[in-house]
Homo-oligomer: A and B are copies of this chain.
Amino acid sequence: MTSRIAVLPGDGIGPEIVEQAVRVLRAPALNLDLELTEAPVGGAAYVAKGHPLPEDTLALAKQSDAILFGAVGDWKFDKLERALRPEQAVLGLRKALGLFANLRPAILYPELANASSLKPEVVAGLDILIVRELTGDIYFGQPRGVRTLEDGPYAGERQGYDTMHYAESEIRRIAHVAFQAAAKRQGRLCSVDKANVLETSQFWRDIMIDVAREYPKVELSHMYVDNAAMQLVREPKAFDVVVTGNLFGDILSDEAAMLTGSIGMLPSASLNASRQGLYEPSHGSAPDIAGQNIANPLATILSAAMMLRYSLDAAPAADRIEAAVQAVLARGLRTADIFEAGTTRVSTSEMGDAVLKAL
């Protein structure tokens, strides 16, 4: 059966890195039955159609089995009102498709240990999975806005406000994803919250403890978010799987990714309850180097592999792509972001060529 893939390249380096991932997915060696359809998203879509997430693009995404996403955002759109800014496409897709489970591995490839700003002994062999809830929390909570206060100590002043919240079933479903992931790994799950201050967090913690009873083989621990931000720096290898809400997950998954020093290598998946998913590199659109054919396409290629594994039931093909990426690293090929003396510097498209050849 043909799988339908929506290809949304976006802004900045998005098009050039997605191009390489598409070449890999189309590789005769993989022999996949895919129908790939491209559509504009982000700033590119705003320019072409007046909206960062045009109706046609959203409709295509909804009908697809999976979405291969590049990146969105460019300084030139910073002055637009918030509803028209590129990032809104990301938030809109997550919400419309119910992509509540964001899986963000932070893996340090042995060949790239030097790229990290941390000492090699602290990060060598790093392999953490951050499970971030992606459709709830303060990201979408109502009410929100700017109002003029009528009473209290700041009466007469304007106030900006937002609402953080999580309903029980929202916490349960992400808990199940995280416990299942931990069960397949080292069996250790750390739930991160701020239960000493926030009601939402205390509720989150209570539900995590409740769900844990269904997974007696997984060891659940809890950590405050401030401490988690510290422990990730101090001893990142102490973590196996981390589960947390949308806002804390935004912060910690980026921190964890940067521990590796090679964020250009890190894929991500955002899944809904029917295993439909959006797959994108963990890094951004890097408009400063766009169009120069120097960006690292490997995170996007590895995102395509995640797509095959999680949404298309094609784990063998995913394994082959991942092995091909390992092989090109072992051969010493490096894009500019991960280049070091003694390795061979290649362009975006040359890296794509090399992965294709290794397949």
In the complex, how many angstroms separate the beta carbon of A85 from the nearest chain B beta carbon? Answer: 7
Residue A254 at the chain B interface, CB threshold 8 Å? yes
Residue A196 at the chain B interface, CB threshold 8 Å? yes
Residue A160 at the chain B interface, CB threshold 8 Å? yes
Would you call B168 and A158 a contact (CB within 8 A)? yes
Question: Residue A234 contacts which of B159, B250, B258 (CB distance < 8 angstroms)?
Answer: B258
- With a CB–CB cut-off of 8 A, which chain B residues contact A165? 159-162
Residue A49 at the chain B interface, CB threshold 8 Å? no
Residue A259 at the chain B interface, CB threshold 8 Å? yes
Report how far A229 CA is from B249 CA in the complex, Å: 11
Residue A197 at the chain B interface, CB threshold 8 Å? yes
Interface size of A by CB at 8 A reads 63
Report how far A340 CA is from B149 CA in the complex, Å: 55
Question: Residue A162 contacts which of B144, B164, B167, B233 (CB distance < 8 angstroms)?
Answer: B164
Q: Is the interface of A mostly helix, strand, loop or mixed?
A: helix
In the complex, how many angstroms separate the beta carbon of A262 from the nearest chain B beta carbon? Answer: 11
Residue A35 at the chain B interface, CB threshold 8 Å? no
Q: Which residues of A contact B (CB under 8 A)?
A: 82, 85, 87, 91, 117-119, 122, 138-139, 141, 144-146, 149, 154, 157-170, 194, 196-204, 225-227, 229-235, 247-248, 250-255, 257-259, 261, 263
User: What are 25 A-B residue pairs whose CB atoms fall within 8 Å in the complex?
Assistant: A87-B197, A117-B233, A117-B234, A117-B235, A118-B118, A138-B197, A154-B168, A157-B168, A159-B166, A160-B199, A160-B202, A161-B165, A162-B163, A162-B164, A162-B199, A163-B164, A227-B254, A229-B229, A229-B251, A229-B254, A230-B254, A232-B255, A233-B258, A233-B259, A251-B251
